Amino acid sequence: MSEKQKNDAIHEHVKIGNFFRSEYIKRHVEEYDTPSLELIEKIRTELCSCGYSHEDFFIGFSYVLEEYQSYKNNIKHEKCKELLNLLNYYTPFLDFKNSPYTKHFEDLYNISIKYNIRATKLLYPTDMNTVLQEINNEKFSPIIEYPFIEKYNPTLQTITNDGEPYLVYKINDDTDPKTPERIQLDLTIARLNHGKELSGSEISNLRNLSANDAVSDFRTSSVMSRSLGLLMWDKNKRNRRPAGDYVDLYREYKCKKPNCDTHCEDKDKCQRELRDAYKVASKSIKSGRIEPTNIKGNANNPNSKYNLKRYEIHWPQSD
């Protein structure tokens, strides 16, 4: 495997990890954090009443939140032309000192920091049917979802020194508790996310991180299992059926044996795998983080009255 292929594989690993983490958090807020959910919904309703669409809230106001983050941390950096053009559309909201919506952005910012994900995206969980279809067609490659991190978000900016790009990392050395190793890891992931070729030592550090972190297991089988678990959770919110009842999903997405629907060779094995996948999903949703596939204990079941609409994996890009 070439160095570029190794880089690409690590990059894909990071993207997939961020994708599942994001989906678990969306469902955690839906199920366990009613105050945050209702606050975001209230803000979205008010902003959409001004003529903005759900797509604007999902994409555009994510950029506004990033601008607000820079404003909060007093960070000045260049924006690409496309981003500037998009932000111009939201100019009434960018005067953060005087805007009547400043309190909204402060609320959204605080929720974003709490979950390390843009609050504007929490109301849009992904329809896992569309994910499983892409996995079966070997097309699954989620978009990059950058974590929303207070103060520690390295940004790539071009400094006018011979036009060379530099990765600038803002840190308050009086209050930030990060170790040099953690700072190096942040910088490595930032370079990876910006498509930069990694050095041998950077690749080695990421490999060591993956090897030491049991929850970072994203082989094809794990991706399929995690997707099935999330889909069963979503169905259970509507139908209140135990995971073992969803053998039809196992047949449709995972079992490749002929005549599975009429001559199941090991129905107990299928049901056991489904129950395990559901347990991992329910535990990850409850904790709001990626739990290992061998986690112990009993599954949790949804009880919240909220059941948000699910959106296609590439929505709204696919519209």
3-state secondary structure 71-86: HHCCCCCCCCHHHHHH
Lowest mean pLDDT among 168-172, 194-198, 307-311: 168-172
Q: What is the pTM of this model?
A: 0.79
Query: pLDDT tens for residues 244-265?
Result: 677 777 777 766 666 666 566 6
The span from the CA of 186 to the CA of 189, in Å, is: 5
Choice between 94 and 140, residue whose per-residue pLDDT is larger: 140
Residues 6+ apart with CB under 8 A from 141: 12, 15, 134
The span from the CA of 136 to the CA of 196, in Å, is: 30
Given a cut of 80, is residue 293 above it in pLDDT?
Answer: yes
Q: What pLDDT does 150 receive?
A: 57
Helix (H, G, I), strand (E, B), or coil: what is residue 168? Answer: strand
Choice between 2 and 155, residue whose per-residue pLDDT is larger: 2
